[in-house]
Amino acid sequence: MSNSKVLRLILTSLSVGILLISGGFYSGAKRVFGDNKTAAQERVFIIHASITDLVEFRELAKQANLLKPYGRVAINISTLADKSFHEIPEGRNFWYEYASLNPTPYKFFPDPKIAPFIPADFVKKNRQLLLAKASILRENGLEAAFWSYEPNLLPDAFFEKYPNMLGPRVDHPRRNNQPAFTPCISVAQTQEMYKNMVAELLENVPEIKTFFFKTNDAGSGICWSDWQYVGPNGPSHCKHKSTGERVALLMNSFQNGAKKSGNDISIYLTGSMFSDEEKQDIYDHLPENCYYQSHNSDKVKAINSMVVNYFPIKGMLDPLTFLRSINSIDKSNNTIFISFRPNYDRGSERLDTTGKFLEMFVKYLNNGIREGEINEIEALQQVCLEWAGKNYSETFLKAVLALDAANKYKSAALGNVTAIYWSVSARHITRPLVFSPHLLNKEEESHFMPYVFNPSGEEARADYTDIHGAHLAIKEGAVGTYLSKLNMAIDLLEEVGNEAPEFELIQNLATGLRLYGSFIRSAGNFAEAQVIRERNLSNIASGPHRPGKAGDWTGDQDLQRFNAIMRDELDNSQELIDILENGGMDFIQHAKTSEYEDTFLLGPDLVEQLKLKRKIMLRHWTDIERYLATPLK
């Protein structure tokens, strides 16, 4: 065994020992679920998954049946059948990409005021999918839930016809070239419109018992709220109302629609951006049977799979992350949201992963993590034994703890670095890393530049680390340290033999982490390359030229360092290609056809794009020598 592996095992063993001595990951681990059957039956589980394939949805419903003995079970059915292409203006309006898959009642059952401004075929496809999903839930004895962004943006033509309904501007000026507006909820016509749409929705799908929505983010917003992207704004006539009053008006509109249809629904405001003062005000004004997840968390709890934090990677399940999620739930949480929804509804979680997640969830519903009986480290040891078997349980335990150490380091040192915003929406993963991007021609830019998130094409070209309107940086050496910690975990996972009971599940985790590491490695390379480019801006601005002719044994140090970064990114791309060509594409959220590739979703030809990236990089390998001096020996 190599010295590095010996050191790795010693360090991981010490970590396990420390955790055992300290009594587990959290002291006083609490009981998750009580034995009171009546209390359990009052609980509702809401599964959120962005599935458009009915065969897959039927399988998810079958998996969700596992939860029925422990409470009411609902599955969200509001995922759009198609992207809202009609919403996205021409030109680099990437903020609209955020909202292009946002569901809202008017995309299924539009009010007569809205219907003329929405493509009828688009509405028809969405409605057909919704009703088909409702039928599947009916067959399985499950409830339905409806997730929405409200108030949602509406077309300019709508407000031209109904100017008195014009609410706040809600787009992000650094991410967009055309403003977007939502209707003002304080206007009686808006309230009536929402009431009618919710009523029609529930008349068609009475199985919907849960309506949950998000405000104050891409595609939706409340007048005069503190954290609108352009600042508090809205019509002057409603400025005197508080945010809590406005949210109550919106919730009451939904409730009035339910009453009109003869149905009862529970309404949840989830995951929205409000100031602390606004949060309290919203909570103080909540109507009956309405809840605010961000504030009254004693009643509402949300957990999710790794598909959220590791986007665009899917198909991974980390037992320690799961155990911590389950241990955060207690008997006061009457509503539990279980999310398998990737960012912005781009793709869906693998069904083998959702099945295993729900299987484990039910197990801990049955057994719990009881204070004084079992703590998290003991629970983790049991899971490792079940998954890896006696021969590999210790190796698997060390791998899980090593992954936890890597995650903690990343959170501390790379908190703002995510694969979705760096490697995907900035397209680091497929764009060539070159010293002077301006030397690329249009054909060489064509596979990545249309998707680089930046309203300015020139900024997108020139600034590798313009991330959604902010110029960001990565601490030198931080990515390398994170990757070394992550690779330690991956190496241990790959040591688990194929006789392990859950060998495939463990290797899926290893594959997903290798993919994710490649995405973060790419982000680190582009960040470091941009630092060097910025040191040489004046040199770059002068255009290609012959550097000085003075004899030098080393040449320009920035040239040497940039060449090393280029080579690492070239190698990273090839290593990623190798994984993808050996089954890795099954673990990547990607568009099924090129039409649906966008700033948040990689194309179906990802491997070909990576090969093209390498080809272009090699073609432009010596561009830097037209700016910086090479060694002369």
CA-CA distance, 477 to 332, in Å (whole number)? 44
Q: Give residue 556's pLDDT.
A: 86
Q: What is the 3-state secondary structure of 491-559?
A: HHHHCCCCCCCCHHHHHHHHHHHHHHHHHHHHHHHHHHHHHHHHHCHHHHHCCCCCCCCCCCCCCCHHH
Q: Give residue 54's pLDDT.
A: 98
Q: Greatest CA separation found in the chain?
A: 87
Asked if 539 and 628 count as a contact pair (C-beta separation under 8 A), the reply is: yes
CA-CA distance, 633 to 98, in Å (whole number)? 53
Long-range contacts, 610-614 (Cβ 8 Å, 24+): 610/429, 610/430, 610/573, 610/576, 610/577, 610/580, 611/577, 612/447, 613/430, 613/431, 613/432, 613/448, 613/573, 614/570, 614/573, 614/574
Residue 92: closest CA among 420, 450, 426, 470: 450
Give strand pairing partners of 588.
Answer: 313
Q: Give residue 29's pLDDT.
A: 34
Give strand pairing partners of 4.
Answer: none
The residue written with tokens 């040591």 in the block is: 495
The residue written with tokens 């401004």 in the block is: 117
Q: What phi and psi, each to the nearest 5 degrees, are found at residue 147?
A: -100, 140
Q: Give residue 630's pLDDT.
A: 86
Burial of 373 (0-12, 13-18, 19+ CB in 10 A): exposed
Q: Give residue 295's pLDDT.
A: 61
Within 13 Å of residue 280, how many CA atoms lie on the same side as its CB?
A: 2
CA-CA distance, 248 to 284, in Å (whole number)? 10
Per-domain residue ranges of the chain: 43-374, 416-626
CA-CA distance, 304 to 323, in Å (whole number)? 12
Residue 188 neighbours by CB under 8 Å, 6+ apart: none
Phi-psi region of 622 (alpha: psi -120 to 50; beta: other; left: phi over 0): alpha
Asked if 57 and 410 count as a contact pair (C-beta separation under 8 A), the reply is: no
SS3 341: coil
Q: Encode burial over 587-620: b for 16+ CB neighbours within 10 A, e otherwise.
A: bbbbbeeeeebbbbbbbbbbbebbebbbebbeeb
Q: Which two tokens stand for residue 356?
A: 């295993």
H helix runs in 536-633, sequence order:
537-541, 557-580, 606-619
Q: What is the pLDDT of residues 510-541, one digit of tens each?
A: 999 999 999 999 999 999 999 999 999 988 88
Q: Which two tokens stand for residue 572?
A: 């990273």
CA–chain centroid gap for 54, Å, is: 23
CA-CA distance, 208 to 197, in Å (whole number)? 14
Q: Which two tokens stand for residue 537?
A: 């801006």
Sites in the chain below the pLDDT cut of 70: 1-41, 294-298, 366-374, 551, 633
Asked if 557 and 630 count as a contact pair (C-beta separation under 8 A), the reply is: no
CA-CA distance, 279 to 297, in Å (whole number)? 12
CA-CA distance, 400 to 488, in Å (whole number)? 10
Tell the CATH topology of 43-374.
Answer: TIM Barrel (3.20.20)
Give strand pairing partners of 40.
Answer: none
Asked if 76 and 146 count as a contact pair (C-beta separation under 8 A), the reply is: yes
Q: Give residue 541's pLDDT.
A: 87
CA-CA distance, 568 to 110, in Å (whole number)? 52
- The end-to-end CA distance of the chain, in Å, is 42
Q: Give residue 366's pLDDT.
A: 67
Q: What is the pLDDT of residues 297-338, one digit of tens each?
A: 568 888 999 998 999 999 999 999 999 888 888 777 889 999
